[in-house]
Amino acid sequence: MTISGTTRVLGLFGDPVAHSLSPLLHARFTEQAETDSVYVPFQVTPEDLEQALFALPALNILGVNITVPHKESVFHLLSEHSQIAQTIGAVNTVINQNGQLIGDNTDAFGFLSDIRALFSSLPWEDSSVVVIGAGGAARAVVHALASTNVRKIIIANRTRQKAEELAAEMAPERAEASSLTPEELGPYLDRMGLLVNTTNLGLKGETIPGVDLDRAPAEAAIYDLIYNPPRTPLLEYAASRGLPSANGLGMLVRQGAKSFELWTGHTPEAEPVIEWLKDRLCSTFKQEGSNGGE
């Protein structure tokens, strides 16, 4: 890749950013699309966020991804949002449109396109889906699921009240709340077509309380947004039971591909990049944990 006087800058704001895979996957997208662009990680502290964000037009930077811990702060700093960012209440992609900054969110797209690619032959869209967690990542996942025909969305969270609030806000007709107790969650597991972990349980080898996969039907798919480590205890157990399962690496690549498309107009092919990263990650995973929302 050659940087010239015409090269456009794309990037990532986060704190930390050193562990991020986004520069790697965007380098692949740039090669594929042959765009005259470069993707740079910027470590931006919460104190410097506002200044860094509003410097984008002055620096003629085409756009940035936003990751932990800034997704909600950037949402509140910007006055223009896409409909989806508005609904989710968080921004993972900022587009510099001729000096005007627009906050968008590609996490829901990344999640939905990945489960559709992975589990296309399974009946999850005609079943109920169990979502573990009710935080920021769960908002994108529940929003994505609410746009499908799934029968029911059960949001199961340690703090039940947060699950109730999310259900009422995102899908009042189809979503229900549950605690993480076997008594309440168990009967939902018996009938589910898909279970999605959006919490950080599993980053350090934790199991998820109340989730007993022995109850899951044989065709139930298990998706964990965590991709580092590549196999959480949830995914290990799913594999041992022969349940179809996947981690959040595909979601990471697909949300990045959508951001790249929003900035450059080119739609990268996600599959070869997912395969390339899978191979690479087997040997290079570091200690920090990560999930598909970056």
Residues with catalytic annotation? 71
**Shortest distance in whole angstroms from residue 140 CB to ligand ATR:** 9
Identify residues 229-288 at the interface with ligand ATR (CB under 6 A).
none
Residues 291 and 287: their CA atoms lie apart, in Å, by 13
- Return the number of the residue (104 or 107) whose C-beta is nearest ligand ATR: 107
Taken in order 166, 163, 145, 149, the sign of the CA dihedral is: negative
For every residue of 181-239, DSSP letters joined together read: -HHHHHHHHHHEEEEEE-SSTTTTSPPPTT--GGGS-TT-EEEESEEESSS-HHHHHHH
Element (H, E) at 53: helix 49-54
Identify residues 44-83 at the interface with ligand ATR (CB under 6 A).
none
Q: Please give the backbone phi and psi of residue 154, each rounded to the nearest 5 degrees, phi first.
A: -100, 120
For every residue of 255-272, DSSP letters joined together read: HHHHHHHHHHS----HHH
Q: How many residues does the chain have?
A: 294
Identify residues 146-175 at the interface with ligand ATR (CB under 6 A).
157-159, 162
Exactly one of 22, 35, 127, 198 binds ligand ATR (CB under 6 A); that residue is: 198
Q: Please give the backbone phi and psi of residue 276, each rounded to the nearest 5 degrees, phi first.
A: -60, -45
What's the DSSP call for residue 10? E
- Return the number of the residue (35 or 290) whose C-beta is nearest ligand ATR: 290
Exactly one of 199, 255, 264, 290 binds ligand ATR (CB under 6 A); that residue is: 199
**Shortest distance in whole angstroms from residue 23 CB to ligand ATR:** 21
Residue least distant from ligand ATR (Cβ): 135
> Judged by CB under 6 A, does residue 110 bind ligand ATR?
no
Give the type of residue at 263. W
Exactly one of 49, 137, 189, 246 binds ligand ATR (CB under 6 A); that residue is: 137
- Return the number of the residue (178 or 199) whose C-beta is nearest ligand ATR: 199
- Contacts of range 97-106, beta carbons closer than 8 Å, 24 or more positions apart: 99/57, 100/57, 101/53, 101/54, 101/56, 101/57, 102/78, 103/74, 103/75, 103/78, 104/259, 104/262, 105/140, 106/255, 106/256, 106/258, 106/259, 106/262
Give the type of residue at 213. L
**Shortest distance in whole angstroms from residue 198 CB to ligand ATR:** 6
Site string for ligand ATR, 5-44 (x = CB under 6 A): ----------------------------------------
**Shortest distance in whole angstroms from residue 64 CB to ligand ATR:** 18
- Return the number of the residue (204 or 280) whose C-beta is nearest ligand ATR: 204
Distance of CA 245 to the CA centre of its chain: 16
Using N-to-C axis directions, what is the helix angle for 22-33 and 270-284, rounded to 10°? 140
**Shortest distance in whole angstroms from residue 287 CB to ligand ATR:** 18
> Judged by CB under 6 A, does residue 200 bind ligand ATR?
yes
Exactly one of 41, 110, 133, 268 binds ligand ATR (CB under 6 A); that residue is: 133
Exactly one of 102, 201, 220, 226 binds ligand ATR (CB under 6 A); that residue is: 201
> Judged by CB under 6 A, does residue 207 bind ligand ATR?
no
What residues form DSSP beta bridges with 176? 154
**Shortest distance in whole angstroms from residue 47 CB to ligand ATR:** 21
Q: Which parts of this chain interact with ligand ATR (CB under 6 A)?
A: 133-138, 157-159, 162, 198-201
